[in-house]
Amino acid sequence: MPTILITGGAGFLGSHLCERFLTEGYDVICMDNFLTGSRENIRHLLAEQRFTLIEHDVTTYIQIDGDVNFILHFASPASPIDYVKYPIQTLKVGSLGTHNALGLAKAKNARLLLASTSEVYGDPLVHPQREDYWGNVNPIGVRGVYDEAKRFAEAITMAYHRYHGVETRIVRIFNTYGPRMRIDDGRAIPAFLSQALRGEDVTVFGDGSQTRSVCYVDDLVEGIYRLLLSDEVLPTNIGNPDEVTMLELAQEIIAMTNSTSTIVFKDLPQDDPKIRRPDNTKAQSLLGWQPRIARAEGLRKTMEYFRAKI
């Protein structure tokens, strides 16, 4: 069976991908330096014979013995709290880390899928966001370390494909949620759930009118799996177009948890996108993919995970 290396494999998305590819019969190598990943996310996989954990920082040279057929490059801080706390590490993993992962793909004749992000669109002036939109990003703002790291990662991935002939795929991931998100992640759903379950004030930034389109993790993993095995080289959006305001989302979570929490408003962070919704036309036509799990169902599953943690 093929061998797949998943960088950032102990993270929220990485750990779900490790599970999926083990289920599909792959030998899975999970690589993580645990800057933001967690051993708890993969503890249940350690006894699997086809699972290998390597603790390593991908911004330094990557050495893997034996064959590697596929690489999923998911190593990176991925929430505003993380990339503001670790700005240099975020830039390095997007640049040096991607360079090293591509170098390994070239050496092993492996196919590499880059985890990019809807953040490459910045605070978009086009709605919904199509893959041919170039974005509206502040390169020197506090969020720029993540946005520009991912934009560079896309550029070097395409350069390796065009110049070296490396097989590459690029997924632009929109807001995703589910079990194994960190309670202190800083993103809206973990924050709202943890505050509501504790009976604390639920913090909404700005007036709550800014929107996100949230995708349950199982749907995202299915889209990534299909994209990896497709022939598409150019970036592809994977996300749920079910758009919701942050105020509506906070109200839904308070009601779902039967919480006594009240909503409080705080200033909107710098460069926080006002709108966000993927145009999934390409994924639907190319991959036959569309999200299937409704927000209410996904939030219930996520709530149970957080309830057990709090």
User: Which sequence positions are flagged as catalytic?
Assistant: 146
Distance set, CA 138 to CA 33, 83, 201, 270 (Å): 29, 15, 31, 10
Cα gap 309→55, rounded to integer Å:
25
Strand locations in 106-188 (E): 111-117, 168-173, 176-177
Distance set, CA 248 to CA 21, 62, 203, 251, 278 (Å): 35, 44, 13, 5, 19
- On the question of a cis peptide bond just before residue 128, with omega within 30 degrees of 0, the verdict is yes
Of the candidates 211, 135, 126, the residue with the CA atom closest to the CA atom of residue 172:
135
Identify whether the C-beta of residue 102 lies closer than 8 Å to the C-beta of residue 112: yes
Specify the 3-state DSSP secondary structure of 244. strand
Identify whether the C-beta of residue 93 lies closer than 8 Å to the C-beta of residue 251: no
Residue 280: DSSP 8-state: -
Of the candidates 77, 75, 101, 72, the residue with the CA atom closest to the CA atom of residue 5:
72
List the Cα angle 189/191/192 in 5-degree steps.
Answer: 65
Strand locations in the chain (E): 3-7, 27-32, 51-55, 70-73, 111-117, 168-173, 176-177, 202-205, 211-213, 215-216, 236-238, 243-245, 263-266
Residue 31, strand partner residues: 7, 54
